Amino acid sequence: MNEVTKIDGIGSSVRRTEDKKFLTGKGKYTDDINRPGQVQAYFLRSDVAHAKIKKIDIKNAQSAPGVVGVFTGDDIAADKVGGPICGWVVPCRDGSATKEPPHPLLAQGKVRFVGDAIAVVLAETAEQAKSGAELIDVDYEELSPVVDFENAGDGAQIHDEVPNNCYFDWELGDEKATADALSGAKKIVKLRVRNNRLVPNAMEPRCALAEFDNLDDSYTLHTTSQNPHLTRLVLAAFMFAIPESKLRVIAPDVGGGFGSKIYVYIEEAVCVWASKKVGRPVKWTADRTQAFLTDCHGRDHVNDVQLGLDENNKIVGLRVDTVCNLGAYLSAFSVVVPTYLHGTLLSGQYDIPAIYTNVKGMATNTVNVDAYRGAGRPEATYLLERTMETAAREVGMDPAEFRRINFIPKDAFPYQTQVALQYDIGDYEPHLDKAMEMIDYFNFEKRRAEAAKRGMYRGIGISSYIEACGLAPSAVVGALGGRVGQWESASVRVNPTGTISVFTGSHSHGQGHATTFAQIVADKLGIPMENVEVVHGDTDKTPFGMGSYGSRSLASGGSAISKAVDKIINKSKKIAAHLLEASEDDIDFKDGKFVVGGTDKEKAFGEIALAAYVPHNYPLETLEPGLEENAFYDPTNFVYPSGTHIAEVEVDPATGVVQVVDWAACDDFGNLVNPMIVEGQVHGGIAQGIGQALLEDAHYDENGQLLTASYMDYCMPRADDLPSFKVGYTTTPSTVNDLGVKGCGEAGAIASPPALINAVIDALSPLGVTDMSMPATPQKVWKAIQDSQSVAAE
Amino acid sequence: MYSTKYVKPNSTTEALEAIKSLGEGKFLAGGMTLIPTLKQRLASPDGLVDISGCKLDSIADEGETLKIGAMTRHVSVAESAVVKKAIPALAKLADGIGDRQVRNRGTIGGSVANNDPSACYPSAVLALKATIHANNRSIAADDFFTGMFETALEDDEIIESISFSKPTKANYVKFPNPASRYAMVGVFVAQFGDEVRVAVTGAGEGGVFRHQEMESVLSSNFSADSVSSVNIDSDGLISDLHASAEYRANLIKEMTKRAVGQIH
Ligand SMILES: Cc1cc2nc3c(=O)[nH]c(=O)nc-3n(C[C@H](O)[C@H](O)[C@H](O)COP(=O)(O)OP(=O)(O)OC[C@H]3O[C@@H](n4cnc5c(N)ncnc54)[C@H](O)[C@@H]3O)c2cc1C
């Protein structure tokens, strides 16, 4: 390889090519785009959690200054526009299906959460639209709000279609075998944990700009989406019943999603609809309050866990009973997150002979809950790793050693879990060992004693996680209730001078695809990375693709690109064989050159490209001119990143403040395309996990009002809340894809919360504290210390 | 934000005239509190009188006292050599307000006039026996703060400056609300010879207050240990999502201990 390609290829920490525009404020987000004649939309939202709407009076709003139109649910119903759909459903234990109540674009007769949209006001300016909305008179008949999801079954019925407010009651695993295993166990460890509710808080709030072209009856929608093609499919096929060709969806630069921008939200659909209704482009931008109130939230589980051990402290069985909060309407992936993305992960890194889980998904008068960085896997990891630590403590074993004796041995792969997944490859002891070494685990007690001298409680906590990325294969997804395919697409266009345009079905909203995808192509073709352009986010340009979520972009999207490049190489060899007057079988491709084996006859990649487009000397009778290939890649299995994170904390007993003082993360992501970007993903993920474990909590009061609806009360992690992370890797390349890659985008957020809470409990264990819920706020930790002291005094 | 009038006078006299000519006008200082309120449509004044042109930005050592103009930004107080010399605790307090952007805009007058129960400055005003100089009268600190977001100031009065008595020693320690980083509890301790004043912000249902018992204990024995003996009553303390009254009571004691322990 020549110098240039060496620096640019797979495995090098190339600086992110997209960063210049982002760091200099030149990114182009949906809100930066404006159209002549556009009107601004403002949504009037319910300020009560649960009520019948007796009457809506829009008269005064219609005549308010600048107002162009005021529409309600009746107008939507009259045009027969459908609402958002659920992308994945599961069967219930009693054989019934998931209950799927309608989700109207604007409320029809009832509001179901604070923030539920009742009407849209279109006006010349956003302020006028808002003023107009203030003149709408809504007459409510309030119903009793259902907020506590654990007892939602006893609450007022939210949807006629959902008896007992239970969307589904699902199970996985062998209940009888698990019961037998537990009854034969020498010890059963019981734990009840809560996974706190989070607000995604993407830096860029949601935004939509829709325009209608009455010449060809078509729409263009700019929107904040992680998957513009899916948005187009849902809007065109399910909401408006128009051909896909009549709707172009563009997701330009998108400022973070974390899952919250996967789904089609009612606002973007209403903008599309209204743009035709008023014949002018319609723009809507959420402010931060609306983001808090209406972006889908994440997590919100309660899990009851029973783990059975034999006399050697080996796990014999695991039962987990989960109740989760799905909110007012069923969002696109809200059902799969706590079921197939959660229940299937319950074996973790451990050899568990019997597992059973039951999950009840409840409706409440809170905003919808759906995927948020990790989506189901953090919840599974949290309950399992909390339980592992508790079990180790209860049987008096070192938590690292307790994990070690229960790990799936490295020669047991492929390993079939009792909860459907088959892990292709992994090796868990090395990352445990390495993480322990990175944090100097064996000298921890010295550090604890030194901290005690300063009046501080020091603790250490482990989390050995597994996760599953790149949901696949499509056939299995379909069999399990998924309504979408899980492949990814790529189109690789070689331009006449040998430069490359890659069109990917993945979508980048901060992940750095423009860099990593270009590295893959540069590496495989032996050309400089600068010659590779990555295009994404526009349904008119890119092939139909599934977008980015679930850490699938590299494993699925990157693999599709790799396959398309392989096709390019194959065709190029044919062209080279012709030009070099050799047999195709004798052509080797290396370092960007096609060489006739054993000779010095060669053609550079650029020469082949030119020949393909200027086919003067070309095998036209057997080969088409041009050099452009598509690939659709449907993985045969998930990829399974795993790792061990170890957190070290100090607790100040006077204030309850937890300081994270050290962190070791050792992950197995398979091969790394760009280690710097991977490290960034790990850092960001851990920061989010620390946020969940120490700071963040979406809190509704008993009336269904979101009390944490701004940064005055909702606490995001800041740089000074975080330690400097020690990041390391072990590598077992995935056997599923040619690149040997796994996903890294969510691992940090999955691994970190239990490591941190385990560390806090460890710190307080000398006081007899055995439990701590998330977030471990100063007040909560202080209270736990006070309570332990009053118990000790009794 | 509702649309509203905006004027920027060049003197307090003009500013007062402007406010009188409006029905429900508001003085605009740094705007860090007022502008968000307007944006959320929680207030709808018929006019804003921007006082940043009224030459109220000054810091002067006047011997017994340190006088700071109402429009002085937090950053100026934090970085002022004069303040650091006269009352370093005040510079430290200003340096801990909000973030850099907030400190570059927010003003001492705005903070004191607003009397947010979680704001930092009111505790310094109370503990440092400050005098608030309004356009036509001077108000002693002990008479100024009358309740949460309430002060002795009339709507058409403007704060021109604040004079702080120079203490022998003083210190401010704040336990920030994890989310907003305003004071969940902030304690300003000031020693004037034998007299000790302890002002607590962030904790009282009625806003900033002096802690009499702490003051008397510290006056007789100025040490962190003597703080430990004080029983902090949680009655009248704020209880919210972030901190119960009991927890706040604990923080008052702990922050006072730290303030006393590290005083200089
Ligand atoms: C993100 C953030 C974090 C913050 N953190 C802290 C913190 O940690 N600690 C803290 O103490 N504060 C904090 N603040 C508040 C900050 O200090 C504000 O600047 C301050 O409360 C108001 O000052 P201002 O100059 O911005 O006043 P403005 O917002 O302009 O005015 C506030 C009120 O005071 C009135 N007013 C202003 N000046 C005068 C005057 N001279 N005479 C009479 N009335 C007047 C105005 O009419 C208005 O009613 C924070 C603010 C933000 C936005």
Q: What is the CATH number of domain B59-165?
A: 3.30.465.10
C-alpha to C-alpha distance for A546 and A555, rounded to whole angstroms: 13
Q: Mind spelling out the 3-state secondary structure of A583-620?
A: CHHHEEEECCEEEECCCCCEEEHHHHHHHHHCCCCCCC
Q: What is the CATH number of domain A301-471+637-793?
A: 3.30.365.10
Cβ atoms of A297 and A366 closer than 8 Å = yes
Beta bridge partners of A223: A208
Q: Which CATH architecture has domain B5-53?
A: 2-Layer Sandwich (3.30)
* Secondary structure letter of residue A700 according to DSSP: B
SS3 for A39? strand
Please, how many CA atoms are within 13 Å of residue A395, restricted to the half-sphere of its CB?
A: 26
| pLDDT (average), residues B42-52 | 96
**CA proximity to A235, closest of A272, A205, A261:** A272
Cα Rg for chain A, rounded, in angstroms? 28
Indicate the domain borders of chain A.
Answer: 3-27+487-633, 33-143+203-256+261-294, 301-471+637-793
Length reported for chain A: 794
C-alpha to C-alpha distance for A674 and A534, rounded to whole angstroms: 16
Residue A5 has pLDDT above 80, yes or no: no
Q: What is the CATH T-level fold of the domain B169-261, as seen in this structure?
A: Enolase-like; domain 1 (3.30.390)
Other residues' Cβ atoms within 10 Å of the Cβ of residue B251: 30
Say whether B179 and A130 touch across the interface (CB within 8 A). Answer: no
**CA proximity to A230, closest of A477, A485, A554, A474:** A485
| pLDDT (average), residues A222-236 | 97
Q: What angle do CA A775, A781, A783 make, to 5 degrees?
A: 125
**Listed range (A1-5, A237-241, A279-283) with the worst mean pLDDT:** A1-5
Say whether A289 and B250 touch across the interface (CB within 8 A). Answer: no
SS3 for B52? helix
pLDDT at site A4: 43
Report pLDDT digits (tens) over A507-533: 999 899 999 999 999 999 999 999 999
pLDDT at site B183: 98
Shortest Cα distance, chain B CAs vs residue A76, angstroms? 29
Say whether A127 and B2 touch across the interface (CB within 8 A). Answer: yes
Task: Return the residue of A nearest to B243 by Cα.
Answer: A779
**pLDDT-based confidence at A8, cuts 50/70/90?**
confident
In this chain, the answer to whether the domains covering A3-27+487-633 and A33-143+203-256+261-294 adopt an identical fold is no
Task: Return the residue of A nearest to B175 by Cα.
Answer: A655
In this chain, the answer to whether the domains covering B59-165 and B169-261 adopt an identical fold is no
Q: Is B251 on the interface with A (CB under 8 A)?
A: yes
Tokens of A501: 């345009």
| ipTM value | 0.96
Tokens 């989406």 identify what position?
A: A225
C-alpha to C-alpha distance for A247 and A273, rounded to whole angstroms: 12
Cβ atoms of A537 and A252 closer than 8 Å = yes
C-alpha to C-alpha distance for B42 and B56, rounded to whole angstroms: 28
Shortest Cα distance, chain A CAs vs residue B243, angstroms? 6
What's at A169, amino acid-wise? D
Q: What is the CATH number of domain A3-27+487-633?
A: 3.30.365.10
Report pLDDT digits (tens) over A15-70: 999 999 999 999 999 999 999 999 999 999 999 999 999 999 999 999 999 999 99
Residue A122 has pLDDT above 90, yes or no: yes
Contacts of B182 in chain A (CB under 8 A): 712
Ligand 1 mutation target, pool B37, B102, B133, B156, most atoms within 8 A of CB: B102
C-alpha to C-alpha distance for A154 and B164, rounded to whole angstroms: 60
Indicate the domain borders of chain B.
Answer: 5-53, 59-165, 169-261
pTM score: 0.96
Phi, psi of A741 (to 5 degrees): -100, 155
| pLDDT (average), residues A683-708 | 98
Contacts of B254 in chain A (CB under 8 A): 654-655
C-alpha to C-alpha distance for A691 and A686, rounded to whole angstroms: 8
Say whether B179 and A699 touch across the interface (CB within 8 A). Answer: no
C-alpha to C-alpha distance for A203 and A201, rounded to whole angstroms: 6
Cβ atoms of A557 and A516 closer than 8 Å = no
C-alpha to C-alpha distance for A360 and A392, rounded to whole angstroms: 29
Q: What's the gap in Å between A203 CA and the centre of ligand 1?
A: 25
CB neighbours of A235 closer than 8 A, spacing ≥ 6? Answer: A221, A247, A249, A264, A268, A269, A272
**pLDDT-based confidence at B1, cuts 50/70/90?**
confident
Phi, psi of A660 (to 5 degrees): -85, 115
pLDDT at site A3: 44
**CA proximity to A530, closest of A5, A102, A26:** A5
CB neighbours of A256 closer than 8 A, spacing ≥ 6? Answer: A202, A203, A204, A509, A510
* Secondary structure letter of residue B155 according to DSSP: T
| pLDDT (average), residues B95-110 | 97
Expressed in percent and rounded to 5, the helix, strand and coil fractions of chain B are: 35, 25, 40
Q: What is the CATH number of domain A33-143+203-256+261-294?
A: 3.90.1170.50
Residue A256 has pLDDT above 80, yes or no: yes
Tokens 């009973």 identify what position?
A: A321
Q: Which residues line ligand 1 (CB under 6 A)?
A: B 26-34, 51, 70, 97-98, 102, 105-107, 109-111, 113-114, 116, 119-121, 158-159, 181-182
Contacts of A711 in chain B (CB under 8 A): 179-180
**CA proximity to B118, closest of B214, B193, B185, B46:** B185
What number of helices (H) and strands (E) belong to chain A? 20, 28
pLDDT at site A472: 84
Contacts of B2 in chain A (CB under 8 A): 127, 131
Cβ atoms of B109 and B71 closer than 8 Å = yes
CB neighbours of B108 closer than 8 A, spacing ≥ 6? Answer: B68, B69, B70, B72, B74, B77, B94, B121, B162
